[in-house]
C-alpha cells in the first residue's frame, strides 16, 4: 500500500464497512403491458420523486428493437473511443497520476465498459443512473493501489425526497437508506441536478412504442382473421331445426382438418369473407412512423437506414455533423465530469494523497476532419486571393491565413528562394559537340567502365525530358534530330507548294467588297484547286517521321 493509502486507511476501511452494509443487487420487477393511462400514472409518480414505475417503463422500452438499437448506437459510439487523461495541478505529480491511470491500467480495471454502458444508457432513458463503488484491497499488479471498481445499480428502487433534497434507495428488506452522490461509495450519473427524470427519453418514447405495439397487434389480428368462413341457409322453407343444423355445421367446420371434405345439407352454402382494406400499407406505415420518431428522438435523425439512395451520403454526413456529433460530445463531457467529480477524486486521494490531482478522462468526440473539403476550401481561398491581388487589392497575409485556419503556412517565399528552387529543378544536361557526339576530352570512370564527359564544350547541348543520360540514349537524340530536319524540309516544301494558293487568297481578299463577297470568291477559287500534291506531301512526311521513331527505339533496344 502506498504511503498516501496507508494514511487514509481508516477512511478506506469506513467505506468498505459502508459497502458491506449497503444492499446488494435487488430484485427488479417489470411490467410487460403498458397503456397510455399507465404511462401518465408513472409520470405522476415520478414527479413525486418515486421512480419505480418510470424505471419499469425504461426496462420495458429496452425490449423494443428500435429503442435498443438507438440507445446502443449512442453508448457504443462513446465507449468505443479510447479516452486520454488531462493532467491537473503540479506537472510532475500529475504526470505520475495520469501514467498510473492510463499506462498502469487502473482506469480499464476500475471502470469496465459493461458498467459504463449501463450508466450512460440509463442516464439517457431515465435521466439518472446510480452506480456504486466496490473498493479493492491494494493490488500488486497496479502498484499496490486501491481501485473503486464501479458497478451499475438498478434505479427501480430509487427515490428523491423533496423535503430533504436527497436521494434514497431500498434494500431487499424494503428498508430505505440514503444515497449521497460523490461520498466515495455512490455515483449518480444524471442529466440535471434537479428533477433529472423529467429530461429522460422515456417520457416521449413510451407513447411511440405503445403506438407501434398496438399497430403490430392489430396487424397480427387482421392477419389471423384475414379470411372467415361463413355458412348460410338459402331456402325459404328450411327442413328441420336450423339452430341444431347450425351448431352441427359449426362443430364440423371446427373439427375439420387440413384438406377436409364437408358435405352440406340441402339449402346450405359456405362463403369466405376477406378483408378488403390494404392492411399492409396501414399498419406498416404506422410502425415505420413510430420507428422514425424513435430514431429522431434518440439520435437526432433517422438517416442511414431511412434515406433514398440519391444524396444519401451527403444527408448522413449532414446528420452526423449537426445532430449525432453534438450528442456524442454531450455524452462524453457528462461521463467525464461524473467520473472525475464523484470517483476519480477518491482514487487520487487514496493512492496519492491529493484529490486535486485526479485527471479528467477526455473522450475524442470531435469528428474527423474532412480533408477533401479542406483541400477544396484551400484551393478556392487561394484562387480568390490571387484574383484580388491581381486587380490591385492589398492582402494581409497573416490575417488571411488565420481566417481560413492555414496554421501550416509559415510565410511567403522570397525571390532568392524561388530562383534557387527553379535552378535545382532543372534537369542535368549532358554536353555534346556540334555534330551531336560526346566531347573528346573524357576521363575513365573506374566504377562503371564508361567514358563520361569531363566538361561541356562550346556548341549544342541536349537534355531528355526524363532526365536520363544523353550519352546512354543516342537513339532518341538521333531520332529527334532526324524528325526535326524532316520537319524543316517538309515545311519548306509545303510553303513552296502552297505559295500559289496563298497568292490567290490574297488576290481575292484585295478584290472582295465584304465578307459575303469574300466567301463566294474563295469558294469558287477552292473548287478549282487540287489537293493531291499537298496530301501526298503530308503523307510522306508522316511516314518518314514514324520510321525515324522506329529506328531510334531499335537502336536503343
10/127 same-domain check: yes
SS3 label, residue 133: strand
Query: Is the same domain home to 241 and 153?
Result: no
With cut-offs at 50, 70 and 90, classify the pLDDT of residue 321: low
Answer whether residue 457 is part of any domain.
yes
Number of helical H runs and strand E runs in the chain: 21, 14
Residue with the three cell numbers 532518341 = 476
| 487 phi and psi angles, rounded to 5 deg | -65, -45
CB atoms within 10 A of CB 373: 10
390 exposure class (CB count in 10 Å sphere: 0-12, 13-18, 19+):
exposed
Cβ atoms 4, 35 nearer than 8 A: no
As a whole number of angstroms, the distance between CA 500 and CA 431 comes to 43
In order, the DSSP letters of 178-214 are: EE-BTSSSEEEEES-SS-GGGGSTHHHHHHHHHHHHH
- What is the model's pLDDT at position 556? 62
Alpha helices in 126-169, H assignment, sequence order: none
Q: Which domain holds residue 18?
A: 3-205+315-362
Residue 279 and residue 218: Cα distance in Å, rounded? 9
CA neighbor of 505 nearest in space, from 491, 493, 490, 523: 523
d(C-alpha 175, C-alpha 136), whole Å: 27
- Tell me, yes or no, whether 221 lies in a domain: no
Q: Does residue 305 form part of some domain?
A: no
Number of structural domains (the chain) is 4
Q: Which residues pair with 375 in a beta bridge?
A: none
Task: Give me 53's grid cell.
Answer: 414505475
Q: Is the same domain home to 375 and 358?
A: no
pLDDT at 461 over 60: no
Domain boundary among 350, 384, 412: 412
Report yes or no on 265 lying in a domain: yes
- pLDDT tens across 338-387, in order? 999 999 999 999 999 899 999 999 999 887 766 777 788 888 888 888 88
Q: Is the pLDDT of residue 527 over 70?
A: no
Do residues 254 and 331 share a domain?
no
Say whether both 350 and 376 belong to one domain.
no
pLDDT score at 459: 45
Q: Which of 56-70, 107-121, 162-176, 232-246 has the lowest mean pLDDT?
A: 232-246
- Cα separation, 139 vs 100, whole angstroms: 13
Provide the H-helix boundaries in 80-137: 91-102, 106-110, 113-125
For residues 39 and 210, the answer to whether their CB atoms sit within 8 Å is yes
The string of pLDDT tens digits covering residues 292-310 is 999 999 988 765 545 554 4
> Average of pLDDT values for 386-405?
82
Q: Is residue 309 part of a domain?
A: no
Higher local confidence (pLDDT), 253 or 184: 184
Is 553 within 8 Å of 475 (Cβ atoms)?
A: yes
Cβ contacts of 191 within 8 Å, gap of 6 or more: 123, 127, 128, 199, 200, 334
Residues 393 and 465 in one domain: no
What is the model's pLDDT at position 478?
73
Distance CA 77, CA 299 (A): 11
CB 126, CB 159: distance < 8 Å: no
User: 10 Å Cβ neighbour count for 152?
Assistant: 21
407 and 460 belong to one structural domain: no
Based on the fold, state whether residues 437 and 395 are members of the same structural domain: no
Res 427: pLDDT: 58
Enumerate residues 6+ apart whose C-beta is below 8 A from 79: 113, 116, 117, 120
Residue 430 has pLDDT above 70, yes or no: no
Q: Which residues 6+ apart lie within 8 Å of 32 measured at CB?
A: 60
The region that residue 542 occupies, defined by phi over 0 for left and psi between -120 and 50 for alpha, beta otherwise, is alpha
Tell me the H-state helices in 300-366: 312-319, 325-339, 345-352
| Interior/surface letters 154-193, b for 16+ CB within 10 angstroms, e for the rest | bbbbbbbeeeeeebebbeeeeeeeebebeebbbbbbbbee
Contact (CB, 8 A) for 38 and 31: yes
The Cβ of residue 11 has, within 10 Å, a number of other Cβ atoms equal to 14
Contact 498, 534 (CB under 8 A): yes
Where is mean pLDDT largest: 49-53, 225-229, 265-269, 529-533?
Answer: 49-53
**Would you say 180 and 130 are in contact if contact means Cβ atoms under 8 Å apart?**
no
Q: What is the C-alpha separation between 85 and 355, in angstroms, rounded?
A: 15
Residues 339 and 188: beta-carbon distance below 8 Å? no
Residue for grid cell 469574300 = 518
Residue 281 included in any domain: no
Nearest by Cα to 401 from 424, 426, 428, 381: 381
Q: Which of 324, 343, 362 is the last residue of a domain?
A: 362
* Residue 421 is assigned to a structural domain of this protein: no
Residue 495's pLDDT is: 72
| Chain centre to alpha carbon of residue 556 | 54
End-to-end CA distance of the chain: 79
**Are residues 377 and 328 both part of a single domain?**
no
Dihedrals phi, psi of 438, to nearest 5 degrees: -60, 150
Q: Report if residue 419 sits inside a domain.
A: no
Do 436 and 540 share a domain, yes or no?
yes
| 481 shares its domain with 533 | yes
- Please provide residue 192's backbone torsions phi and psi, each rounded to the nearest 5 degrees: -135, 165
The residue with greater pLDDT, 221 or 134, is: 134
C-alpha cell at 12: 478506506
Going by pLDDT thresholds of 50, 70 and 90, the confidence category of residue 454 is very low
| Residues 168 and 239 both lie in one domain | no
Cell of 293: 420518431
Amino acid at each position: 500500500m502506498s504511503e498516501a493509502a496507508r494514511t487514509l486507511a481508516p477512511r478506506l476501511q469506513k467505506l468498505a464497512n459502508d459497502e458491506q452494509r449497503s444492499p446488494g443487487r435487488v430484485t427488479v420487477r417489470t411490467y410487460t403491458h403498458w397503456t397510455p393511462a399507465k404511462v401518465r400514472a408513472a409520470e405522476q409518480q415520478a414527479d413525486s420523486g418515486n421512480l419505480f414505475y418510470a424505471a419499469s417503463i425504461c426496462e420495458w422500452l429496452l425490449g423494443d428493437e428500435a429503442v435498443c438499437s438507438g440507445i446502443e448506437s449512442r453508448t457504443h459510439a462513446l465507449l468505443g473511443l479510447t479516452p486520454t487523461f488531462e493532467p491537473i495541478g503540479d506537472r510532475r505529480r500529475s504526470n505520475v497520476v495520469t501514467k498510473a491511470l492510463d499506462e498502469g491500467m487502473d482506469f480499464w480495471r476500475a471502470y469496465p465498459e459493461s458498467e459504463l454502458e449501463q450508466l450512460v444508457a440509463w442516464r439517457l432513458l431515465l435521466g439518472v443512473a446510480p452506480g456504486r463503488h466496490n473498493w479493492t484491497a491494494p493490488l500488486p499488479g497496479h502498484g499496490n493501489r486501491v481501485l473503486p471498481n464501479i458497478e451499475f445499480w438498478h434505479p427501480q428502487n430509487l427515490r428523491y425526497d423533496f423535503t430533504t433534497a436527497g436521494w434514497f434507495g431500498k434494500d431487499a428488506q424494503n428498508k430505505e437508506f440514503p444515497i449521497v452522490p460523490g461520498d466515495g461509495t455512490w455515483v449518480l450519473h444524471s442529466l440535471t441536478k434537479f428533477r433529472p427524470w423529467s429530461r429522460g427519453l422515456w417520457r416521449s418514447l413510451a407513447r411511440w412504442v405503445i403506438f407501434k405495439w398496438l399497430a403490430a397487434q392489430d396487424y397480427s389480428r387482421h392477419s389471423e382473421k384475414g379470411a372467415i368462413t361463413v355458412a348460410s341457409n338459402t331456402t325459404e322453407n328450411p327442413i328441420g331445426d336450423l339452430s341444431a343444423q347450425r351448431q352441427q355445421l359449426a362443430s364440423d367446420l371446427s373439427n375439420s382438418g387440413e384438406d377436409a371434405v364437408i358435405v352440406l345439407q340441402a339449402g346450405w352454402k359456405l362463403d369466405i369473407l376477406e378483408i378488403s382494406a390494404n392492411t399492409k400499407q396501414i399498419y406498416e406505415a404506422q410502425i415505420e412512423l413510430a420507428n422514425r420518431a424513435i430514431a429522431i428522438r434518440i439520435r437526432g435523425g433517422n438517416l442511414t437506414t431511412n434515406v433514398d439512395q440519391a444524396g444519401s451520403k451527403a444527408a448522413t454526413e449532414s446528420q452526423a455533423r449537426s445532430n449525432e456529433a453534438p450528442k456524442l460530445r454531450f455524452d462524453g463531457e457528462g461521463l467525464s465530469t461524473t467520473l472525475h467529480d464523484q470517483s476519480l477524486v477518491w482514487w487520487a486521494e487514496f493512492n496519492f494523497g491529493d484529490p486535486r490531482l485526479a485527471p479528467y478522462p477526455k473522450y475524442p468526440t470531435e469528428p474527423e476532419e474532412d480533408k477533401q473539403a479542406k483541400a477544396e476550401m484551400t484551393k478556392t481561398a487561394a484562387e480568390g486571393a490571387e484574383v484580388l491581388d491581381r486587380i490591385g487589392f492589398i492582402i494581409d497575409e497573416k490575417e488571411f491565413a488565420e481566417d481560413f485556419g492555414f496554421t501550416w503556412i509559415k510565410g511567403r517565399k522570397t525571390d532568392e528562394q524561388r530562383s534557387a528552387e527553379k535552378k535545382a529543378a532543372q534537369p542535368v544536361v549532358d554536353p555534346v559537340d556540334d555534330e551531336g557526339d560526346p566531347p573528346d576530352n573524357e576521363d575513365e570512370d573506374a566504377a562503371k567502365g564508361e567514358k563520361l564527359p569531363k566538361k561541356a564544350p562550346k556548341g549544342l547541348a541536349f537534355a531528355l525530358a526524363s532526365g536520363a543520360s544523353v550519352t546512354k540514349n543516342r537513339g532518341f537524340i538521333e531520332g529527334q534530330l532526324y524528325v526535326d530536319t524532316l520537319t524543316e524540309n517538309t515545311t519548306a516544301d509545303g510553303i513552296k507548294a502552297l505559295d500559289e494558293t496563298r497568292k490567290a487568297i490574297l488576290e481575292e481578299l484585295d478584290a472582295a467588297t465584304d465578307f459575303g463577297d469574300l466567301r463566294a470568291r474563295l469558294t469558287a477559287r477552292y473548287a478549282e484547286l487540287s489537293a493531291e500534291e499537298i496530301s501526298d506531301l503530308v503523307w510522306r512526311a508522316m511516314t518518314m517521321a514514324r520510321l525515324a521513331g522506329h529506328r531510334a527505339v531499335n537502336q536503343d533496344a
